[in-house]
Amino acid sequence: MTPTARPPYRRIAVEEAYAPAEVLDEYRKVLASGEADLGFVSLMGYFLGSDHPQPRGVIERITDLGERRIADMDATGIDMQILSLTSPGTQVLDVETAKWAAQLANDRIGEAVAAHPTRFAGLAAVGFEDAPSAIDELDRAVTQLGLKGLIANSHVKGQYLDHPRFFPILEKAADLGVPVYLHPQTLPGSAIRPWYEAGLDGAVWGFAAETGLHLLRMITSGLFDRLPNLKVVVGHLGEGVPYFLHRIDHMHAKQVASGRYEAIKPLQQRPSEYLKTHIWLTTSGMPWEPAISFARSVVGADRVMYAMDYPYQFVADEVADMDALPYPDDEKREFFEGIATRVFGL
C-alpha cells in the first residue's frame, strides 16, 4: 500500500509542530543575548543557525499552516494534524513574552482550524510561570478557539509539572476535560552537559531521558491521585518508560517500604498502572513495529496512537509501514483515528 492509497480509516497525526515566525524571532533574540541555556543553544541554535538543508527544511515548514503543510499531508496520506507550538515553546521566554507567544500561537492555530476544520485540530500553549493568566488563556483557547488540549514542552526553566505552582493549570485542564501533551525539550541547566559533549542531548536520546523523568515525576509525586481526571498524552512511545515498568514498580515499592526518600510516598496504584488509567502514548518519531507492539502489550492497544512528529521527522515511507502493522483492521482504525478522536474530543 502506498501512503496515498485510501485505507478504511482517517490517519490523524497528533504531535505535529508549528511555530509562528514571530516566536522564532524571539528565539533568535534569546540566542543573541548570550544568556540562553546550553540546551536551547543546542536545539534552536542549530535549527535557526545552520545552513544545512535538514534544519532549513524544518524551519521552512514549521511556520506554515496553509498550502505547504497541507501538500505535505496529502503527499504522505495524513488526513489531520493536531498542531502544537514547537518545543521549547513558551518555556524559555520571560514571563510576559511567554504569555504573548502563547496567545499568538493559539490564535494562529485557531485560525488554521477554522479555515481547514477537517485537516487541522490544535493544542493550546500557555505561559506556565503566571498560573492565573495561563488558566485564563487555556480557557480561552479551549472554549473560544476550540483547541483540544494543552501542550507542555517538558520542564519550565528546570521546574517540572509536579511543582505545586503548576497545579492550578493542570487542574484547569482536568476540569475542561482536555489532555496535557507532555512533549520533550532539552535537559535543563548543567544537567545537559554529559549528553551535549557526546552529541546525545537531542532527539537521539536526551529528549527521552528528560521527558521520561518528567512523566515519572508526575506519577510518583501523586499528581494523578490528586487530580484523578487529569489525562496525559506522551510521545515517542512513552519516552522509554514502558520498557522499565517492572523495575519501576519493584523499586518504587521498596522505596515506599524503606522510607528512603521523602519524595516517594504511597500511591493509590502501582506506578505502571497510571499508564493504563491516565496516560496515552503516541508513536511520534518511533515508527518501529517491535517497539509499538511491545508498548501495546504493556499499556493496552487502546492506549497507543499514531503521531508523525512533522516537520522534524517527516518520512513519507513511515505511513506505509504503519499501514502494514500486523494488527486487525479494527485495531488499526483505533490506532490511526479512534483513540485520538476520543482522547482529544475531535
The alpha carbon torsion through 194, 199, 204, 205 (nearest 10 deg) reads: 0
Chain residue at closest Cβ approach to Ca ion: 309
Least distance (Å) between residue 307 CB and Ca ion = 8
Inter-residue contact 78 to 319 (CB < 8 Å)? yes
Least distance (Å) between residue 202 CB and Ca ion = 11
Interhelix angle 167-176/131-143, nearest 10 degrees: 20
Residue whose CB is less far from Ca ion, 3 or 202? 202
Burial of residue 2, with CB atoms counted within 10 A of its CB: 0-12 exposed, 13-18 middle, 19 or more buried: exposed
Residue whose CB is less far from Ca ion, 309 or 337? 309
Residue whose CB is less far from Ca ion, 239 or 309? 309
- Residues in the interface with Ca ion (CB under 5 A) total 1
- 3-state DSSP assignment of residue 81: strand
Least distance (Å) between residue 17 CB and Ca ion = 5
Least distance (Å) between residue 287 CB and Ca ion = 13
Least distance (Å) between residue 52 CB and Ca ion = 19
CA dist., res. 227 & res. 276, Å (int) = 15
Active centre residues (catalytic): 309
- HSE at residue 96, side-chain half, CA atoms within 13 A, is 0
- HSE at residue 24, side-chain half, CA atoms within 13 A, is 20
CA dist., res. 222 & res. 327, Å (int) = 34
- Max Cα–Cα distance, the chain, nearest Å: 59
DSSP structural state of residue 222: T
Using the contact rule CB under 5 A, the part of the chain among 56-64, 97-105, 148-156, 304-312 near Ca ion is 304-312
Using the contact rule CB under 5 A, the part of the chain among 3-11, 71-79, 118-126, 309-317 near Ca ion is 309-317
Residue whose CB is less far from Ca ion, 129 or 309? 309
Least distance (Å) between residue 81 CB and Ca ion = 12
Residue whose CB is less far from Ca ion, 181 or 224? 181
Using the contact rule CB under 5 A, the part of the chain among 61-69, 116-124, 214-222, 307-315 near Ca ion is 307-315
CA dist., res. 317 & res. 325, Å (int) = 13
Using the contact rule CB under 5 A, the part of the chain among 30-38, 243-251, 269-277, 303-311 near Ca ion is 303-311
Q: What are phi and psi of 156, to 5 degrees?
A: -110, 95
Binding-site member from 309, 318, 334, 337 for Ca ion (CB under 5 A): 309
Residue whose CB is less far from Ca ion, 72 or 309? 309
Rule CB under 5 A: say whether 210 interacts with Ca ion.
no
What is the arrangement of strands in the sheet containing 80-85, beginning at the earlier edge strand?
12-18, 80-85, 120-122
Site residues (vs Ca ion, CB under 5 A)? 309
